[in-house]
Amino acid sequence: MNAPWDMRPPEWPSDLAIDACLTGEATPEQRAAVDACAARDPEFRALLETRAAGLDALTDARMRQRLGAPRAAGISSRAAPRRRFALGPGTAIGGLAAAAALFVSMRAGEAPQPSGDTVRARGAASFHVFRKRGEALDEVLSGDLFQAGDRLRFRAKGLSPGEYVLVAGVERDGRLFAYAPSEGGAAPAGELLDAEGTFPGAAELDASRGIEWAHLVHCARPFQLSDLRVDAETLEVPAGCGTSAFRVVKP
Amino acid sequence: MDPRIAELWSRHGAIVLRRAQQILGQAQDAEEAAQEVFLRAADALPTLEARAQTTTWLYRITTNLCLNRLRDTRRRAALESRHEEALRPSGSAVDPVKLLALRRLLAEADPAQAEAAVLVFVDGLSHAEAAEVLGVSRRTVGNLCERFVVWGRERLSASP
């Protein structure tokens, strides 16, 4: 038998480098090593994706229970690389027709219930996120792996038409921005969303790395993005509002 | 529970759990070890928040706690009888059969050598990376690994 200490492909970056990339803590050297290996080695690329998907193991309820961790969305408060958010052309088109056209391949009522690590507060609407990559449009789970250029579409189910709604994004450093409506003011669901509950427009992800969050926030009364607060690990919303969180992992 | 620990778990829980499972080879042991890691993290939050790389700190704590478990005589006995644990944990870069053999060595090795061996041989850290995790020099890491290999060869050749 070969020596047991020769157990890894020697040309692969260390697990520490991989994990640092996944948590957004990588040094430029670690990032470069991981990127270079992923570019040349499909097996390593597959491992990287498996490892990133493994972040969703956090849905392990038993472990959360053991730790007594609250089932609230985690939000980084540490300094982190900048995140740039760009609205895709879909936003310019806006409106229900554009949203409906994008989702033409999905049957009405087909969207599954929230899964993955989506965190839905009591009384909150269900929050669905769709990723358009190239020509493919798929519903994605919280904690899925994303890359620069992916375009996100959002859908909320279970809202009453008079409820005010917006999707807020939280960058790794805790900064808030508006995914939709991009102006940052919540709009009545009955006016903003199409019959399926889909938000108009799409958001294109930039090249920043790490874990970010998208929060569906809905309230009976009008509210603005500026009414929301990121307080260390939680998104604070006005009293009586509902929230659902979705984790965006960009290794 | 401090919400900062919840956040730490959210960001690093899967990483710690995967490493613990890789070192220990058993899911329940790994969960218990991961739980202990985050309880330790709760006590060390001020230190942790001052660090640029939380991952590095978690690597060291996870390694120590898992090696302690491997050394536990009852677990060692179980390890000897658990051939199915050679199955490769999801997302692992290592050869599962070799990992099983290495686990047995780690359970008996000098603690400092075992710590360096996990980081370098299992996690694939460079000596520089391992030195940073362990807080020692690269030369020390090299020496520890070299001594582990020499000891391991003798141990394997002495095995029936």
Q: Indicate the average pLDDT of chain B.
A: 83
For residue A156, what are the β-bridge partners?
A127
pLDDT at A63: 52
pLDDT for A244: 83
State the Rg of chain B over Cα: 16
pLDDT for A42-93, tens place per residue? 888 888 887 877 655 444 445 555 555 433 332 222 222 222 222 223 322 2
- Flag if B5 and A69 touch (Cβ within 8 Å): yes
d(CA B49, CA A206): 27
pLDDT digit string (tens) for B117-137? 999 999 999 999 999 999 899
**Distance in Å, alpha carbon of B71 to nearest chain A alpha carbon:** 18
Contacts of B45 in chain A (CB under 8 A): none
In a domain, B99, yes or no: no
Q: Which residues contact A42 (CB under 8 A, 6 or more apart)?
A: none
B72 assigned to some structural domain: yes
Minimal CA separation from B4 to chain A, in Å: 7
User: What pTM did the predictor assign?
Assistant: 0.54
- Asked whether residue B100 is domain-assigned, the answer is no
Chain A hits for B151, Cβ within 8 Å: none
Two tokens, residue A45? 């690329």
Is there a domain that residue B98 lies in?
A: no
CB contact under 8 A, B93 and A64: no
Residue A22 · residue A251 · CB < 8 Å: yes
Question: How far is C-alpha B142 from the chain's CA centre?
Answer: 17
Given B31, B101, B102, which is nearest A63 (Cβ)? B31
Q: Is residue B94 assigned to a domain?
A: no
Cβ-nearest to B91 among A54, A67, A72 = A54
Q: What's residue A228's pLDDT? A: 92
From the list A7, A22, A68, the residue facing B15 with the nearest CB is A22
Domain membership of residue B144 (yes or no) is: no
pLDDT reported for residue A114:
33
Domain that holds residue B75: 1-83
Question: Best residue in A2, A15, A37, A66 to probe B by mutation, most B CBs within 10 Å?
Answer: A15
Residue A216: its pLDDT value, please? 92
Q: What's B45's domain CATH number?
A: 1.10.1740.10
Residue by residue, pLDDT tens for chain A (251 residues) are 578 888 888 899 999 999 988 888 888 899 899 989 988 998 888 888 878 776 554 444 455 555 554 333 322 222 222 222 222 233 222 222 222 222 222 222 233 333 344 454 545 678 888 888 877 788 887 777 788 888 999 999 888 889 999 999 988 777 888 998 888 889 999 999 998 899 988 888 888 877 788 899 999 999 999 999 887 556 888 888 888 888 887 77
Report residue B7's pLDDT band, with 50, 70 and 90 as the boundaries: confident
Number of domains in chain B: 1
Residue of B nearest to A52 (CA): B91
pLDDT tens track for B83-117: 444 445 556 777 777 888 898 899 899 999 999 99
Q: How far is B74 from chain A (nearest CA, A)?
A: 23
- Asked if the bond preceding A181 is cis, omega within 30° of 0, the reply is yes
Name the more confident of B48 and A186. A186
Q: Does B135 reside within a domain?
A: no
Exposure string for A220-241, b = 16+ CB within 10 A, e = fewer:
eeebebebbebeebbbebbeeb
Does some domain include residue B51?
yes
H or E element, residue A120: strand A119-120
